[in-house]
Amino acid sequence: MGITERIAAIAVSIISASAYPGIFVLMMLESMFFPVPSEAVMPFAGFLIVDGTLTWTSIILFATLGSLTGSVISYAIGYYGGKTFIIKFGKFFLLKEKHLELSERFFTRHGQITIFISRFIPVVRHFISIPAGAGKMNFIKFCIYTLLGAGIWNAFLTFLGYKLKQNWDSVMHYSHYIDAGVLVVLVIALGYYIYKIYKNVTNKSED
């Protein structure tokens, strides 16, 4: 079994085992500062629509409520001054301070509509609720923008999963190309990491 198939199998088994509560919790964590990408959750939920295990309405409902819950928690963290806590202990959740700063700049530059737009932007959507809370954004507007953005994004990813499952045999026929692509990316990343180490060592020796 290739890398792509293994990821699919694990994601499907997790969601299959816990159904809607699992989707709710995963999307709640995804809307906070935990490294749970919606791209790895919702498409596989869409798989189970094809199998008749889950339904469109319930998936979107539980996923979006999970997104709202996680966003409200992050909003409260920002509102009550929890940014310092996130910066101090964020490393345990794979959170980098620069990601939070990026979200803050994005929110400051584009205003409250950012809460809607950010649902479609990787990394930013994990942290955008914190600066919204810190900026004391109107809570009702915050919830409305979050529900709209998260609802559309969750529905879109679920639809992709639904269509993907319908054509899964064709996808798996080309999965070895995807695996090769993943391997190339890993090799490039490793090479870049070694280069950075070498460069740092060289600079220190010159000093």
pLDDT at 149 over 70: yes
CB-CB neighbours of 144 under 10 Å: 13
The answer to whether residues 47 and 122 belong to one domain is yes
131 and 181 part of one domain: no
Is residue 81 located within the same domain as residue 52?
yes
Dihedral (CA of 37, 40, 41, 42) sign: positive
The CA distance from 86 to 104, in Å, is 13
C-alpha dihedral, 34 to 10 to 118 to 97, nearest 10°? 30
- Is 123 found in the same domain as 97? yes
My answer on whether 118 and 185 are in the same domain is no
pTM, rounded to two decimals: 0.67
Question: Same domain for 185 and 158?
Answer: no
For the chain, how many residues are written? 207
Give pLDDT tens digits for 3-27: 545 645 666 677 878 889 989 988 9
Same-domain pairing of 71 and 99 = yes
Residues 65 and 163 both lie in one domain:
yes
Same domain, 136 and 197: no
> What SS3 class is residue 50?
helix
The identity of residue 40, as a single letter, is A
Residue 111 DSSP class: -
* Rounded CA separation 203/121 (Å): 36
Res 73: pLDDT: 92
**In sequence order, what are the residues at sequence separation of 6 or more whose Cβ sits closer than 8 angstroms to the Cβ of residue 7?**
40
Considering only residues 152 and 118, tell me which one the structure prediction assigns the higher pLDDT. 152
Domain count, the chain: 2
Task: Report CA-CA distances (Å) from 71 to 18, 64, 126, 187.
Answer: 22, 10, 8, 35
Considering the domain architecture, whether residues 20 and 114 belong to the same structural domain is answered as yes
Please tell me whether residues 65 and 134 are part of one structural domain: yes
Residues 98 and 195 placed together within one structural domain of the fold: no
- Predicted confidence (pLDDT) per residue in 72-96, tens digit: 998 998 888 766 666 666 555 555 6
Give me the domain span that covers residue 184: 174-207
